[in-house]
């Protein structure tokens, strides 16, 4: 028979007195216990409550893996993921398809779990568990995470008035921005990625803030190899890794905020599935990272909504920005998307032997696991460190030219741009090509030996490293490998029209029109402050750059765009995220390109790509007729400017060598 909890708690103490007490006195005893009895009863109640909570939580944590063994989000292989045709870009199509598949799999897995269970009692337990998980446990865990985040960011909030009123002091700003970076670093993968994303948004945040956040590192704590082994055995349906792998180092070569990377070698018997290749890079997500990031994104969305209510902050449209950031995070949490990006890049550059991307194993890549060809290449960072010691600019241009051309092809012809072009994601191999520069005639092992020797010399003797690197650049052709294609940037039709029109205005040095376009085609033109002043500032900036030199050779497109983004922030001009991503990619490109070639001119470098666009009919279908005309007009304008804007030194050289007017 059910008895009240309080009655059961004190039953032992009063049982011996029941025979001596009347019902009335017993009731009085329960209602008005002595202070000693009251303390004892309260302690017992507290003990039972704490014990119940502790046991329930322990059982939930311990048994949840069994209860939801089939409630995990499953996925198909990468080669079966098809983009949603309703999306306006390839990447967004993959994102929508991935999200829909995960939602559908979660629902179906629960249904299958319930269907397979014959016991009505166990089905009831499962239903209760699902309800408890969705409506109690998840909200509680989000609340706990919210409190944790609040504690971490409290020092930032408390110190904000100091930073605001002393904003004129550079040291104060730097100190406060550094504090934000340290807090983001401590809060885990979601906030590290948020900081890295914010570092690229110079249209929203101060340049010093973006610079400091740019130093955020994605290094995380490696998960256990047991988890990796379990995932691989499940993927290949094997009992031991020896059945598939000849070599797999248990220590990861890289650990990020979301995933970690191993180098593996497949058995020879398995190479029939890998086109004869044995060495691959294995990328695997950390356990429970999807769940952790999902909670953080919900909290970020809530925080963005609160900030949006603050006067003068609505122009940032933070809820929209958090939505964009959520898409970026979820794109990285499905490794099938990265593998399909690699395939698309390889198809786009299949006729260019100087540009390569690792080949993915689509059949054996899923949401949590990605296999891609292991590339033994010289990191671009190692090359940039000694570029000044090479002294020969023409040798450096052998590296910079294909790098710049590849980016411009991504931007102008393909509209499919690698969104993370920092030096760490660029490798250099060394190949020999035929006389027509169309086909590689050297073996892959030859390049591997060269790179291994270069890496060894780099550690042991920098002088020998530079000398050997020079000799290699003379004898071989550098081949650029782009890695880490988890994020790409695509412009939809509207954004692409806007970008080309802006690019055209800059080429014509029509700064006022460029300023007008940036406001007219921004997300919220009505929030812009002093539109006329903004257009005049852009006009002045472009005019200043035009007057710096007679030729385009020393014009820094990156510097121009960087200053424009600062103006955008001051005047509250809301740019589309993809549009800004393209601008940031250009800044990264020119940053690397000008280190290798100080005279790099992106306008000039874009002419061959625009020429190819104008001459190839298939490319014209990428845009509407009006936009095609704009592209062709832009190409012709650049051709004319290149022909007219010969520098004084070039003309002097032609006169001295009697090439300007021969035999005159």
Q: What pTM was computed for the model?
A: 0.77
Residue 561 forms part of a structural domain = yes
CA angle 530, 531, 533 (to 5 degrees): 65
Query: In b/e form, how buried is each residue of 113-124, taking b as 16+ CB within 10 angstroms?
Result: beeeeeeeeeee
Residue 617 forms part of a structural domain = yes
Which 8-state DSSP code applies to residue 359?
A: P
Last residue of a domain, one of 106, 137, 162: 106
Which 8-state DSSP code applies to residue 134?
A: I
Whats the size of the chain, residue-wise?
664
Mean pLDDT of 410-425: 85
Q: Is the pLDDT of residue 435 over 70?
A: yes
| Domain identity same for 10 and 69 | yes
Last residue of a domain, one of 53, 71, 106: 106
Report which of residues 204 and 27 the model is more confident about. Answer: 204
pLDDT band of 68, cuts 50, 70, 90? very low
Closest by CA to 305, choosing from 279, 323, 326, 287, is 323
Report which of residues 247 and 588 the model is more confident about. Answer: 247
| Domain identity same for 500 and 647 | yes
Q: How far is CA 212 from CA 182, 208, 385, 652, in A?
A: 10, 6, 22, 46
Q: Is the pLDDT of residue 51 over 70?
A: no
Report which of residues 94 and 160 the model is more confident about. Answer: 94
Q: Is the pLDDT of residue 367 over 90?
A: yes
Query: What is the secondary structure of 378-393 as a DSSP string?
Result: EEHHHHHHTHHHH--H
Q: Tokens standing for 592?
A: 């690397």
Residue 435 forms part of a structural domain = no
| Domain identity same for 141 and 195 | yes
| Domain identity same for 121 and 242 | no
pLDDT band of 633, cuts 50, 70, 90? low
Closest by CA to 486, choosing from 420, 400, 566, is 420
What is the 3-class SS of 549-579, one letter each residue? CCCCCCCCHHHHHHHHHHHHHHCCCCCCHHH
| Domain identity same for 495 and 643 | yes
| Domain identity same for 225 and 207 | no
Under a CB-based contact definition with an 8 Å cutoff, are residues 419 and 489 in contact?
A: yes
Closest by CA to 376, choosing from 320, 456, 436, is 456
**pLDDT (0 to 100) of residue 245:** 94
| Domain identity same for 146 and 266 | no
Mean pLDDT of 50-70: 46
| Domain identity same for 227 and 350 | yes
Closest by CA to 332, choosing from 216, 222, 484, 487, is 487
| Domain identity same for 343 and 231 | yes
Q: What is the rounded distance in angstroms from the CA atom of residue 420 to the CA atom of residue 438?
A: 28
Q: Is the pLDDT of residue 224 over 90?
A: yes
3-state secondary structure of 374: coil
3-state secondary structure of 252: coil
Under a CB-based contact definition with an 8 Å cutoff, are residues 212 and 174 in contact?
A: yes
pLDDT band of 12, cuts 50, 70, 90? very low
pLDDT band of 18, cuts 50, 70, 90? very low
Residues 385-407 have pLDDT tens digits of 888 888 888 888 899 889 988 98
| Domain identity same for 128 and 92 | no
Last residue of a domain, one of 321, 339, 374: 374
**pLDDT (0 to 100) of residue 514:** 82
Mean pLDDT of 276-283: 93
| Domain identity same for 596 and 630 | yes
Residue 459 forms part of a structural domain = no
- Domain of residue 97 covers 5-106
Residue 86 forms part of a structural domain = yes
pLDDT band of 243, cuts 50, 70, 90? very high
Report which of residues 100 and 565 the model is more confident about. Answer: 100
Residue 449 forms part of a structural domain = no
- Radius of gyration in angstroms for the set of CA atoms belonging to the chain, rounded to a whole number: 31
Residue 52 forms part of a structural domain = yes
| Domain identity same for 495 and 628 | yes
Range of 19-33, 73-87, 138-152, 594-608 with top mean pLDDT: 138-152
Total tally of structural domains belonging to the chain: 4
Residue 478 forms part of a structural domain = no
pLDDT band of 658, cuts 50, 70, 90? low
């Amino acid at each position: 028979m059910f008895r009240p909890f309080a009655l059961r708690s004190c039953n032992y103490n009063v049982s011996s007195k029941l025979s001596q007490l009347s019902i009335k006195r017993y009731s009085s005893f329960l209602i008005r216990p002595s202070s000693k009895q009251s303390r004892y009863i309260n302690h017992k109640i507290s003990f039972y409550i704490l014990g119940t909570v502790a046991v329930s939580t322990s059982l939930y944590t311990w048994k949840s893996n069994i209860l939801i063994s089939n409630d995990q989000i499953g996925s198909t292989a990468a080669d079966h993921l098809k983009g949603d045709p309703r999306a306006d870009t390839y990447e967004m199509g993959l994102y929508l398809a991935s999200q829909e598949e995960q939602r559908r799999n979660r629902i179906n897995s629960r249904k299958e779990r319930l269907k397979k269970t014959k016991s009505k009692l166990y089905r009831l337990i499962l239903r209760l568990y699902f309800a408890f998980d969705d409506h109690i446990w998840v909200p509680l865990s989000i609340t706990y995470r919210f409190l944790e985040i609040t504690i971490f960011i409290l020092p930032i909030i408390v110190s904000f008035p100091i930073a605001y009123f002393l904003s004129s002091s550079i040291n104060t700003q730097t100190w406060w921005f550094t504090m934000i970076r340290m807090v983001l670093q401590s809060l885990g993968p979601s906030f590290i990625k948020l900081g890295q994303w914010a570092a690229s948004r110079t249209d929203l945040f101060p340049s010093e803030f973006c610079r400091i956040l740019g130093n955020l590192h994605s290094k995380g704590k490696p998960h256990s190899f047991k988890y990796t082994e379990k995932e691989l055995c499940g993927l290949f349906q094997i009992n031991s890794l020896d059945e598939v792998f000849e070599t797999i180092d248990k220590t990861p070569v890289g650990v990020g905020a979301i995933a970690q990377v191993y180098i593996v070698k497949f058995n020879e018997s398995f190479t029939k599935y890998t086109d004869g290749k044995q060495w691959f890079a294995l990328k695997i997500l950390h356990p429970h990272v999807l769940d952790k990031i999902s909670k953080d994104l919900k909290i970020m969305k809530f925080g963005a909504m609160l900030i949006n209510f603050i006067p003068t902050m609505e122009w940032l449209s933070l809820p929209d920005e958090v939505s964009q950031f959520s898409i970026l995070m979820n794109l990285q949490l499905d490794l099938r998307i990265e593998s399909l990006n690699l395939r698309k890049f390889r198809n786009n550059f299949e006729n260019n032997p100087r540009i390569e991307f690792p080949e993915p194993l689509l059949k054996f890549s899923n949401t949590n696991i990605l296999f891609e060809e292991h590339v033994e290449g010289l990191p671009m960072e190692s090359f940039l460190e000694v570029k000044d010691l090479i002294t020969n600019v023409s040798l450096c241009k052998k590296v910079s030219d294909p790098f710049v051309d590849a980016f411009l092809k991504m931007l102008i012809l393909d509209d499919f741009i690698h969104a993370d072009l920092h030096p760490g994601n660029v490798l250099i191999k060394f190949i020999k090509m035929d006389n027509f520069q169309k086909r590689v005639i050297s073996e892959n092992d030859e390049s591997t030996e060269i790179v291994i020797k270069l890496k060894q010399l780099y550690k042991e003797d920098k002088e020998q490293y530079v000398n050997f690197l020079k000799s290699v650049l003379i004898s071989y052709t550098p081949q650029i490998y782009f890695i880490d294609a988890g994020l790409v940037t695509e412009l939809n039709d509207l954004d692409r029209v806007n970008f080309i029109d802006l690019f055209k205005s800059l080429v014509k040095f029509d700064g006022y029109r460029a300023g007008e376009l940036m406001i007219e085609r921004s997300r919220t033109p009505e929030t812009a402050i002093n539109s006329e002043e903004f257009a005049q500032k852009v006009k002045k900036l472009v005019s200043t750059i035009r007057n710096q030199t007679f030729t385009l050779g020393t014009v820094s497109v990156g510097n121009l765009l960087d200053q424009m983004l600062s103006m955008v922030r001051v005047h509250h001009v809301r740019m589309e995220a993809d549009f800004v991503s393209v601008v940031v990619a250009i800044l990264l490109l020119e940053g690397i390109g000008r280190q290798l070639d100080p005279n790099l001119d992106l306008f000039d470098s874009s002419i061959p790509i625009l020429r190819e666009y104008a001459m190839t009919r298939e490319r014209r279908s990428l845009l509407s007729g009006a936009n095609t005309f704009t592209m062709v007009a832009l190409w012709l304008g650049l051709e004319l400017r290149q022909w007219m804007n010969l520098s004084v030194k070039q003309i002097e050289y032609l006169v001295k060598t009697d090439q300007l007017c021969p035999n005159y």
